Amino acid sequence: MGRRKSYDRDVLVGKAVEIFRDHGFAGTSAEMLVAGLGVNRYSLYAEFGSKQALFEAALQRYDEEVLERNFGPLEAPGAGIDEVRALLEFFGSARESPASGRGCLLCNTAVEFGPDDPSGAGFVQQYFERLSEAFYAALSNAGGKGELRRSVDPREEAGFFTASVLGLFVMLRAKAPPTVIESAARVAIGHLEALRAKPPA
Amino acid sequence: MGRRKSYDRDVLVGKAVEIFRDHGFAGTSAEMLVAGLGVNRYSLYAEFGSKQALFEAALQRYDEEVLERNFGPLEAPGAGIDEVRALLEFFGSARESPASGRGCLLCNTAVEFGPDDPSGAGFVQQYFERLSEAFYAALSNAGGKGELRRSVDPREEAGFFTASVLGLFVMLRAKAPPTVIESAARVAIGHLEALRAKPPA
DNA sequence: ACTATATCTAAACGATCGTTCAGAAACAAC
DNA sequence: GTTGTTTCTGAACGATCGTTTAGATATAGT
């Protein structure tokens, strides 16, 4: 039995998420990772194999934790309009959001790499699917409960809300004027509320 | 009189726009610029001074040409709902848009650099202001002509449409499923049309 | 034809890139 | 205390980074 590790892999991945979220893949050097993770260079490569592999572990972690925390409520059984509204309100609170200055790691990655896939695993396409399916699920639930106007197409609206939150992520990332972010969220919420079926007279 | 230049500065900047649009700033090497612009390394630095300076020239050019072409119609005197609609229809045509796989250079830059300004010139913040002011101008015009419902706040809606097109840019950049892009644009257009004042009975 | 000057060509600079290596240190088992 | 093994330390590898340089070439003016 040899020397024990002085780090925890899960902790390292968590820290890597934050570093890649701030700087992107190309803008993050191995040196930055060594400094930010607090491990030596040898252990970084022994544990993860390559910078790319660490990046993919970070994307996986982000999906499991951050996307799960934010979009999981929409995917839950019984989720509906209120869950969508809570999400929009959360991202519209520009000054307080943890995404301020940082945005969403998967959104940032989508833009950084464009149509080139940073890994064979299709993280970005899965991300778009997850977002639109989450909105679709919540709105379909609402429709099934009679909470949506009959004319509403949950599939169409899902695409719309996906674009809305991606736009919020961009503005949060680059610290657009908070008033623009808040307006965008309020109108999206107004649009959402307008989808509700009117209660019978 | 010495040897004449075998390049045109404006042509080089135009090519640089395309390269930075595809690969971002960090993802574009000097070698890629030399190859893509078709000049020698000496001339690249003689003409522009640095990679950063070329990047800023590209951002300026993009603003003057691409943003002008796309958002200029909203800024024009007399612009209204129809101009906003045309813009949304244009970006919603995912398969045909020149932005497919590339998005918007300023949006990409906003995400790549986050709150760090890539130059002292504030290109990204000016970009957000330009977008939201363009939407505001067009919607204010419509309001002034009595074409908007009285309850509509052009300032709020401008923030919303800014987020919408940024979201479309992200999805275009990463080649999200065209159905999601098209749905997002259609619903945004539906929302826009719902802002129209009803004609008197 | 010669000269002065500007640009091109090819190479190189110092620094950093992502990754690997050799030896030292720390540890558990014996 | 010794041994075998794993991790850490510090350095270095080959490649590429952004930028500069020296000499060659092309050009206009004389």
pLDDT per residue over B108-147, tens digit each?
Answer: 999 999 998 877 779 999 999 999 999 999 999 999 999 9
Task: Flag if A162 and B159 touch (Cβ within 8 Å).
Answer: no
Question: Does residue B87 lie in a domain region?
Answer: yes
The pLDDT-based confidence of A1 (bands split at 50, 70, 90) is confident
Which residue places its CA closest to the C1' of nucleotide D27?
A: B3
For residues A100-124, average pLDDT = 91
> B171 lies in which domain range?
65-194
Residue A21: predicted pLDDT: 97
Question: Does residue A12 lie in a domain region?
Answer: no
Question: Does residue A26 lie in a domain region?
Answer: no
Residue A95: predicted pLDDT: 72
Question: Does residue A44 lie in a domain region?
Answer: no
CATH (domain of A151): 1.10.357.10
Find tokens 């097109």 and name the residue.
B165
Contact A118, A54 (CB under 8 A): no
Residue A30: which nucleotide is closest by CA–C1'? C18
Residue B105: predicted pLDDT: 97
The pLDDT-based confidence of B96 (bands split at 50, 70, 90) is confident
Instruction: Name, in order, each residue with C-beta under 8 angstroms of A183's C-beta and a sequence gap of 6 or more.
Output: B155, B156, B157, B158, B159, B160
Question: Does residue A32 lie in a domain region?
Answer: no
The pLDDT-based confidence of A116 (bands split at 50, 70, 90) is confident
Query: What's the CA–C1' distance between A6 and C27, in Å?
Result: 12
The pLDDT-based confidence of A121 (bands split at 50, 70, 90) is confident
Question: Does residue A9 lie in a domain region?
Answer: no
pLDDT > 90? residue A164: yes
* Residue A159 at interface with chain B, using a CB cutoff of 8 Å: yes
Task: Flag if B174 and A128 touch (Cβ within 8 Å).
Answer: yes
Q: How many domains does chain B have?
A: 1
Among the partner residues A168, A173, A180, nearest to B111 by beta-carbon distance: A173
Question: Does residue B33 lie in a domain region?
Answer: no
- The number of helix segments (H) and strand segments (E) in chain A equals 10, 0
* Residue A70 at interface with chain B, using a CB cutoff of 8 Å: no
ipTM value of the model? Answer: 0.94
pLDDT per residue over B132-189, tens digit each?
Answer: 999 999 999 999 999 999 999 999 999 999 999 999 999 999 999 999 999 999 999 9
Cβ density class B70-107: b for 16+ within 10 Å, e for less: bbebbbeeebbbebbeebbebbbebeebebbebbbbbb
Q: What letter would DSSP give residue B200? A: P
* Residue A41 at interface with chain B, using a CB cutoff of 8 Å: no
More confident residue, A145 or B118: A145
For residues A140-167, average pLDDT = 96
Residue A9: predicted pLDDT: 95
Question: Does residue B59 lie in a domain region?
Answer: no
